[in-house]
């Protein structure tokens, strides 16, 4: 729907920005690389495989986006050193040399781990367990060899990986007995050496590399129990003089977990004992699993649903905001794999900012194009219920800066997304608060004026029960009104007389059915003055695609705008007729072939005669105007050019432009209005108005400040245009 609407915007206003955004797929990789966007924060890394450093296109992505590289598997002890005296350096060298050639520094992953390890170190030639001294000798040799070979290109080492036990196992069986679970993972390393192997590994690494950053790396650091176990272990080691410089938080998370608070708790806790934290293996599954365990659901490779993609973008956004906030201690953030295709989680988890075709996802843009000023900004606390709320509803609310905040009760929902949010960001994702209520605030101020919106709850579209409904996008949508500096022009004033809007039903012969129109009659209509009833000119005012005859009177506030203009003496009273423009029945992709011929019959041959027969009108073309917004502008242009005998004043509101040579008889029109928002295609409108003026037409333009293809633009247009009609 949205795509369609913006395609329409393009057609009507020639807006290149709208085109770039909606007309064809966006290249989200346009813009600076992540490493450049984060140069004042931390380095941005990626875990790579052999393909990634071989394929030219993938190499380009790495070079543009990242300034830190981790070998996903090729540096692991089991790969490099599978048997005593056997060293496989080929793949490891390839990655190291790629980094050396491109001036990228590496994280050395990893020197000591329970998995993908050189397990031969634990046994002798006959397969018998060795003493821990033998193991240490072998481990020392391994660490020295690897570190010496690569330390020129490595700035940090994951010395020990995953030595602590997971949450959720308060007890465990040891020698057939149930005992309180150890804080340590029951690895072969631990069983042979206790936690001394951790200290030893760090000591060996420090001997070999006196300056590299030595990291203890683990997953699920955001779990309460594991966080504390890691904290205690690292603290104990450091107190004993073990050279641990920092903690690596792997970051295998998902789109729901962790929340900011939980993540922050871990960062702050670890900051008490280290001043270097690396987020070493970031990816966001689209299911509810997390952690670095090697058993997991691989997901289905089907395309990611739109609401799931939005949740992922939002989660990346939230996590990076916390990372930025803690840049004093976070020194690196590394994505675990380059693309969804490479992901160890399987492509069906869609966990990364690049998709299975190595195309950037919107997540990349969200991570990259952050607004530092917004990071820790707290919106002004002058919230009021949205003026469009249903009686007694406190939410949604708006503040004087244009932020909107939402509250939705959906206790069993998995996700709630409000379609309204900062441009191009897919909406505002709500989070469940402690009382089980979904809450959230837009990331920044919204454009002033009226916006349609809806909720997406677990992928299904519903309205916000807080607000009234407004017909747009071919359905009744929720609506919100962001305070505008000039909201007086459509305010419902207590100090003036008001006109009224009547609904009339008329028979359309061409359609063979009844049609509805809403007719604004100014205050005083029908009064007998000096024995006579006054007659009025008429403006036929059309809505846009997806809307209907209620759109101008309700969300457009056409009646209030007229009342205010009349009361302030800015215009002489006239009638406004707002009928359904048959905009909503045709198929996607056929907008270019739209002729408005059906509506032309309804309007010119049926509705105009009906209005002239039933209301006190001045029934001639010099007392008749036609104007429309968006697709209604398209109709206006087509119909006024084909039937110049019907209307003497023409208005296009974000609804295209007239070229002077399209108007065969320059005397056919007394006044042309063209307007749009400054976020649409203001240059196009300005140029067209200039060209019309140069050709001798009485033309006027309006560029609405700070608005896009939305109702505040059109309210302002009506306010302006009305003042020049019927003169």
Nearest approach in angstroms of CB 655 to ligand XIL is 54
Nearest approach in angstroms of CB 261 to ligand XIL is 24
Within residues 255-314, the interface with ligand XIL by CB under 6 A covers: 281, 292, 294
Give the residue with the Cβ less far from ligand XIL, 187 or 310: 187
Would you tell me how many other CB atoms lie within 10 Å of the CB of residue 372? Answer: 10
Q: How many residues bind ligand XIL (CB under 6 A)?
A: 9
Angstrom distance (rounded) from CA 169 to CA 177: 14
Three-state DSSP at 506 gives strand
Q: Running DSSP on this structure, what letter comes out for residue 219? A: S
Residues in the chain: 727
Angstrom distance (rounded) from CA 659 to CA 666: 12
Applying CB under 6 A, which of residues 29, 250, 386, 551 lies at the interface with ligand XIL?
A: 250
- Which tokens belong to 45? 């890394």
- Which tokens belong to 92? 């490891």
Nearest approach in angstroms of CB 248 to ligand XIL is 8
- Which tokens belong to 125? 């030639």
Torsion angles phi and psi, residue 24, rounded to 5: -140, 165
Contact partners, residue 30, CB within 8 Å, separation at least 6: none
Angstrom distance (rounded) from CA 324 to CA 163: 28
Residue 630 known to be catalytic? yes
Query: Cβ distance 254 to 289 under 8 Å?
Result: yes
Angstrom distance (rounded) from CA 699 to CA 691: 9
Residue 340 is a binding residue for ligand XIL (CB under 6 A): no
Give the residue with the Cβ less far from ligand XIL, 6 or 335: 335
Angstrom distance (rounded) from CA 407 to CA 628: 35
Residue 598 known to be catalytic? no
Query: Cβ distance 263 to 322 under 8 Å?
Result: yes
Applying CB under 6 A, which of residues 344, 520, 540, 615 lies at the interface with ligand XIL?
A: 344
Residue 339 known to be catalytic? no
Residue 395 is a binding residue for ligand XIL (CB under 6 A): no
- Which tokens belong to 390? 């249903």
Give the residue with the Cβ less far from ligand XIL, 108 or 292: 292
Within residues 109-168, the interface with ligand XIL by CB under 6 A covers: 161
Within residues 439-498, the interface with ligand XIL by CB under 6 A covers: none
Find the catalytic residue in 162, 203, 635, 674.
162
Residue 50 is a binding residue for ligand XIL (CB under 6 A): no
Nearest to 308 by CA among 263, 358, 349: 349
Element (H, E) at 56: helix 56-65
Nearest approach in angstroms of CB 344 to ligand XIL is 3
Within residues 181-220, the interface with ligand XIL by CB under 6 A covers: 219
Nearest to 667 by CA among 695, 697, 643: 697
Contact partners, residue 175, CB within 8 Å, separation at least 6: none
Applying CB under 6 A, which of residues 21, 73, 102, 523 lies at the interface with ligand XIL?
A: 73
Applying CB under 6 A, which of residues 45, 72, 362, 407 lies at the interface with ligand XIL?
A: 72
Nearest approach in angstroms of CB 104 to ligand XIL is 19
Give the residue with the Cβ less far from ligand XIL, 289 or 705: 289
Element (H, E) at 700: strand 699-704
Nearest approach in angstroms of CB 341 to ligand XIL is 13
Give the residue with the Cβ less far from ligand XIL, 280 or 640: 280
Three-state DSSP at 469 gives strand
Nearest approach in angstroms of CB 142 to ligand XIL is 16
Give the residue with the Cβ less far from ligand XIL, 250 or 636: 250
Which residue is closest to ligand XIL by CB?
Answer: 344
Nearest approach in angstroms of CB 195 to ligand XIL is 19
Q: What is the three-state SS of 375-436?
A: HCCCCCCCCEECCCECCCCCCCEECCCCCEEEEECCCCCCCEEECCCCCCCCCEEEEECCCC
Find the catalytic residue in 29, 72, 187, 281.
281
Give the residue with the Cβ less far from ligand XIL, 292 or 472: 292
Angstrom distance (rounded) from CA 384 to CA 394: 8
Nearest to 480 by CA among 463, 500, 493, 461: 463
Beta-sheet pairing, 277-285 with 330-335: parallel
Would you tell me how many other CB atoms lie within 10 Å of the CB of residue 148? Answer: 11
Give the residue with the Cβ less far from ligand XIL, 351 or 628: 351
Beta-sheet pairing, 246-249 with 277-285: parallel
Find the catalytic residue in 68, 363, 419, 630.
630
Nearest approach in angstroms of CB 73 to ligand XIL is 5
Residue 339 is a binding residue for ligand XIL (CB under 6 A): no
Give the residue with the Cβ less far from ligand XIL, 70 or 550: 70
Please identify which residue in the block is written with the tokens 């073990």: 242
Give the residue with the Cβ less far from ligand XIL, 164 or 579: 164
Nearest approach in angstroms of CB 252 to ligand XIL is 6
Chain positions contacting ligand XIL, by CB under 6 A: 72-73, 161, 219, 250, 281, 292, 294, 344
Which residues are marked as active site? 162, 281, 630
């Amino acid at each position: 729907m949205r795509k369609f609407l913006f395609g329409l915007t393009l057609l009507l206003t020639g807006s290149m920005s709208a085109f770039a955004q909606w007309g064809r797929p966006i290249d989200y990789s346009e813009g600076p690389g992540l490493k450049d966007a984060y140069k004042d924060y931390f380095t941005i890394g990626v875990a790579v495989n052999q393909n990634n450093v071989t394929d030219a296109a993938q190499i380009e992505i790495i070079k543009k986006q990242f300034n830190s590289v981790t070998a996903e598997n090729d540096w692991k002890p089991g790969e490099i050193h599978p048997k005593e005296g056997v060293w496989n350096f080929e793949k490891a060298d390839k990655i190291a040399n790629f980094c050396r050639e491109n001036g990228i520094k590496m994280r050395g992953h990893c020197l000591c781990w329970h998995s993908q390890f050189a397990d031969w170190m634990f046994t002798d030639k006959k397969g018998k367990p060795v003493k821990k001294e033998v193991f240490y000798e072998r481990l020392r040799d391994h660490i020295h060899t690897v570190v010496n070979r690569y330390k020129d290109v490595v700035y940090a080492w994951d010395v020990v990986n995953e030595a602590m036990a997971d949450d959720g196992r308060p007890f465990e069986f040891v020698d057939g007995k149930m005992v309180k679970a150890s804080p340590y993972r029951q690895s072969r390393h631990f069983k042979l050496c206790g936690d001394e192997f951790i200290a030893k590994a760090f000591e060996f690494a420090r001997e070999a590399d006196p300056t590299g950053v030595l990291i203890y790396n683990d997953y699920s650091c955001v779990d309460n129990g594991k966080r504390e176990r890691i904290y205690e272990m690292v603290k104990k080691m450091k107190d004993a003089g073990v050279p641990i410089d920092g903690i690596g938080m792997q970051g295998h998370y998902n789109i729901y977990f962790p929340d900011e608070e939980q993540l922050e708790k871990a960062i702050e806790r670890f900051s008490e004992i280290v001043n270097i934290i690396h987020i070493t293996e970031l990816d966001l599954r689209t299911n509810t699993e997390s952690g670095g365990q090697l058993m997991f659901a691989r997901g289905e490779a089907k395309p990611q649903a739109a609401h799931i993609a939005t949740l992922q973008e939002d989660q990346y956004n939230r996590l990076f905001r916390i990372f930025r906030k803690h840049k004093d201690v976070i020194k690196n953030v590394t994505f675990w794999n380059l693309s969804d295709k490479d992901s160890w989680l399987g492509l069906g988890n869609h966990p990364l900012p690049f998709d299975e075709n190595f195309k950037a996802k919107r997540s990349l843009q969200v991570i990259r194009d952050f607004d530092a000023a917004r990071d820790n900004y707290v919106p002004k606390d002058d919230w009021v219920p949205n003026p469009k709320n249903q009686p007694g509803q406190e939410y949604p609310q708006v503040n004087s800066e244009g932020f909107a905040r939402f509250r939705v009760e959906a206790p069993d929902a998995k996700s709630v997304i409000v379609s309204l949010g900062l441009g191009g960001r897919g909406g505002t994702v709500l989070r469940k608060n402690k009382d089980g209520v979904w809450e959230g605030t837009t990331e920044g101020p919204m454009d002033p004026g009226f916006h349609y919106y809806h909720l997406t709850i677990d992928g299904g579209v519903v309205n916000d029960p807080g607000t009234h409904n407004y017909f747009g996008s071919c359905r009744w949508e929720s609506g919100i009104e962001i305070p505008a500096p000039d909201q007086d022009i459509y305010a419902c004033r207590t100090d003036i007389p008001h006109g009224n809007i009547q609904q009339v039903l008329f028979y359309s012969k061409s359609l063979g059915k009844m049609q509805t129109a809403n007719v604004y009659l100014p205050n005083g209509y029908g009064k007998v003055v000096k024995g006579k009833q006054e007659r009025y000119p008429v403006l036929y005012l059309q809505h846009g695609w997806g809307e209907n005859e209620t759109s101008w009177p309700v969300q457009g506030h056409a009646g209030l705008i007229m009342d205010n203009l009349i009361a302030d003496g800015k215009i002489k009273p006239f009638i406004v007729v707002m009928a359904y423009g048959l905009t909503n029945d045709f198929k996607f992709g056929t907008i270019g072939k739209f002729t408005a011929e059906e509506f032309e019959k309804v309007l010119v041959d049926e509705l105009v005669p009906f209005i002239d027969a039933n209301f006190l009108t001045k029934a001639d073309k010099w007392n008749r105007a036609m104007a429309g917004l968006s697709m209604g502008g398209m109709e206006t242009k087509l119909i006024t050019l084909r039937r110049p005998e019907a209307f003497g004043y023409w208005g296009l509101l974000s609804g295209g432009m007239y070229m002077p040579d399209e108007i065969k008889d320059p005397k056919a029109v007394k006044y042309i209005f063209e307007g749009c928002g400054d976020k649409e295609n203001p240059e196009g409108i300005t140029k067209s108005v200039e060209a019309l003026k140069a050709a001798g037409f009485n033309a006027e333009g309006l560029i609405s400040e700070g608005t896009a293809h939305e109702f505040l633009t059109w309210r302002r247009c009506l306010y302006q245009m009305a003042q020049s009609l019927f003169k």
